[in-house]
Amino acid sequence: MSTQPRGPYAKGLARREEILVSALDVVARAGFHGASIKEIADEVGLSQAGLLHYFTSKDELFVEVLRRRDERDNRTFENADDPVEALLEVVEHNASVPGLVELFSRMAVAAADPEHPAHAYFLERGASLRDSLARALDSDSAPGTGTAAATVAPDPAPDAATTARLLQAAADGLQLQFLQDPTVDMVAPLRALVDALRRRP
């Protein structure tokens, strides 16, 4: 049995992927409220029912859009030497796609419901992000590594796991401030936090 899907199933997967790419572009371009199912369906030449045939619900479609976005962002993480700097790059990019910031934040709250498709997504994504950040922060204390910024580290300094959780929280909270007031600069405060908390090797 081939591990490559073929025939109608492969076509279905390809169509689903095409829908996700279009939906991601529509949300990024038209904003969360502009990204109706009708708008996304029009973009890929399907009826609304035809589009939803590929997903169990509108919520599942939106969670899959976030996963698709993560795949793009993961390239930033893979290309960066330093996951903490990659986080700052992603946050800077997010300021140009407020529709995706709103989609992410809406789904982050919807994830409170264990039955919602966003629940598992946010638990996995959070754990993976914090793990990646914490490993980078831990390596700061290894001699000759890291790109730590603080000339004098605070004492007491939070451990790597706590700092990782705080970076995630600050990034998510700054997104809420940015949604409410688009003039809010998300990058400068997050950069200040990184500069204050990272230890010089």
- What is the footprint of a copy of itself within residues 14-53 (CB under 8 A)? 32-33
Q: Which of 67, 123, 128, 201 binds a copy of itself (CB under 8 A)?
A: 123
Q: Which of 15, 58, 80, 189 binds a copy of itself (CB under 8 A)?
A: 189
- How many CA atoms, within 13 angstroms, populate the side-chain half-sphere of residue 146? 21
> The tokens 């529709």 sit on which residue?
99
**Cβ-contact 82, 44 below 8 angstroms:** no
The CA–CA distances, whole Å, from 55 to 12, 19, 64, 112 equal 11, 10, 9, 21
- What is the footprint of a copy of itself within residues 125-164 (CB under 8 A)? 126, 149-158, 162
- 93/126 with CB nearer a copy of itself: 126
Q: Which is nearest to 171 in space by CA: 187, 158, 149, 153?
A: 187
Provide the minimum distance between the beta carbon of 139 and a copy of itself in the complex, in angstroms, as a whole number. Answer: 19
- How many CA atoms, within 13 angstroms, populate the side-chain half-sphere of residue 156? 5
65 interacts with a copy of itself by CB under 8 A:
no
DSSP state for residue 112 in the 8-state scheme: T
Give the integer Cα–Cα distance in Å for 143 and 80.
Answer: 20
Q: Which of 112, 128, 131, 201 binds a copy of itself (CB under 8 A)?
A: 112
58 interacts with a copy of itself by CB under 8 A:
no
Tokens representing 174?
A: 């700054």
Say how many residues touch a copy of itself, by CB under 8 A. 47
Provide the minimum distance between the beta carbon of 104 and a copy of itself in the complex, in angstroms, as a whole number. Answer: 10
- 39/172 with CB nearer a copy of itself: 172
Give the integer Cα–Cα distance in Å for 117 and 57.
Answer: 9
Provide the minimum distance between the beta carbon of 117 and a copy of itself in the complex, in angstroms, as a whole number. Answer: 13
- How many CA atoms, within 13 angstroms, populate the side-chain half-sphere of residue 114? 0
Q: Which is nearest to 66 in space by CA: 9, 28, 11, 39?
A: 28
- What is the footprint of a copy of itself within residues 69-108 (CB under 8 A)? 98, 102, 105-106, 108
- 44/187 with CB nearer a copy of itself: 187
Give the interface with a copy of itself as residue ranges (CB under 8 A): 32-33, 98, 102, 105-106, 108-109, 111-113, 119, 122-123, 126, 149-158, 162, 165-166, 168-174, 176-177, 179-181, 188-189, 192-193, 195-197
